[in-house]
Amino acid sequence: MQGLDDKKHQNMIKAIDRFEKNAPACSDLIPENIEEIIRKQITEFKGLYDYYHILMKELEGCIKKYNGQHESLQRRIYPCVRKMETELRRKRRF
């Protein structure tokens, strides 16, 4: 599974900060409709990043639960399987 590139994200956050800092002083350089689109995309971008972190926390919880279940099952099933296979080998000999 591939995660987000933290360096790329930090670079984008820096660019967003620069945009938000400079936009009021340079409002005549960028058409209103373009600035509105950019601001909407910034909001969506930040929301997606937050959502990504929520999903990662859920995934980490799921992985912990899976590993716990795996270990529990492994402790119980392997001895039983060994006993069954040993018994089947004994029956084949006789």
pLDDT at 9 > cutoff 80: yes
The C-alpha atoms of residue 22 and residue 1 are separated, in whole angstroms, by: 37
- The count of structural domains within the chain is 1
Q: Name the DSSP class of 3.
A: -
63-89 pLDDT, tens digit each: 999 999 999 999 999 999 999 999 999
Residue for token pair 């029956």: 91
1 domain residue, yes or no: no
Residue 76 domain-assigned? yes
Contact yes or no for 45/12 (Cβ under 8 A): yes
- Can you give the residue range of the structural domain that contains 87? 6-93
Sequential DSSP letters for 7-72: HHHHHHHHHHHHHHHHTTTTTTTS-HHHHHHHHHHHHHHHHHHHHHHHHHHHHHHHHHHHHHHHHH
pLDDT at 59 over 70: yes
User: What is the tens place of the pLDDT at every residue in 14-23?
Assistant: 999 999 999 9
Q: Which residue has the tokens 């040993």?
A: 86
